[in-house]
């Protein structure tokens, strides 16, 4: 179970970083979402991964910590709100500029260049 969560966290982090380094705004938004999912997996796994364990009361072994679960719920709400803000900013830039490139530091760069 720990290997599955660690692999998912690493894969989401790698995909998120790779997408953030792209030159279009939509992959950057998806990359930020992947990074927030990876952080949520990490926070959730820090609480204790046990199948069939009792939540808190009456556990024969160490109880599960509810704080990481509350942090994940809070992070989900915050990442949803920030994703909505970033999407609206990207749409505004697309409608005003006619493209979604984010690396136009020189005016001589055209749409067809990578």
pLDDT digits (tens, 9 = 90+) for 62-88: 666 778 888 889 989 999 999 999 999
Structure tokens at 31: 């990359």
Q: How far is CA 107 from the centre of its chain?
A: 32
Full-model pTM: 0.73
Count other Cβ atoms within 10 Å, centred on residue 1: 9
State the residue range of the domain holding 29. 2-49+65-97
Instruction: Categorize the per-residue pLDDT at 17 as very low, low, confident or very high, splitting at 50, 70 and 90.
Output: very high
Does residue 40 sit within a domain?
yes
Count of domains for the chain = 1
Please list, residue by residue across 68-91, b when 16 or more beta carbons sit within 10 angstroms of its beta carbon and e when fewer do. Answer: beebbeebeeebeeeeeeeeeebe
Is 112 inside a domain boundary?
A: no
């Amino acid at each position: 179970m720990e290997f599955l969560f660690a692999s998912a966290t690493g894969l989401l982090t790698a995909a998120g970083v790779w997408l953030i380094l792209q030159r279009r705004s939509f992959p950057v938004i998806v990359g930020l979402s992947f990074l927030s999912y990876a952080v949520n997996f990490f926070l959730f796994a820090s609480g204790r991964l046990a199948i069939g364990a009792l939540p808190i009361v009456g556990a024969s072994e160490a109880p599960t910590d509810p704080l990481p679960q509350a942090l994940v719920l809070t992070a989900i709400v915050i990442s949803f709100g920030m994703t909505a803000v970033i999407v609206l900013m990207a749409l505004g830039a697309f409608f005003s500029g006619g493209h979604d490139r984010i690396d136009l530091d020189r005016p001589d760069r055209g749409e067809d260049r990578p």
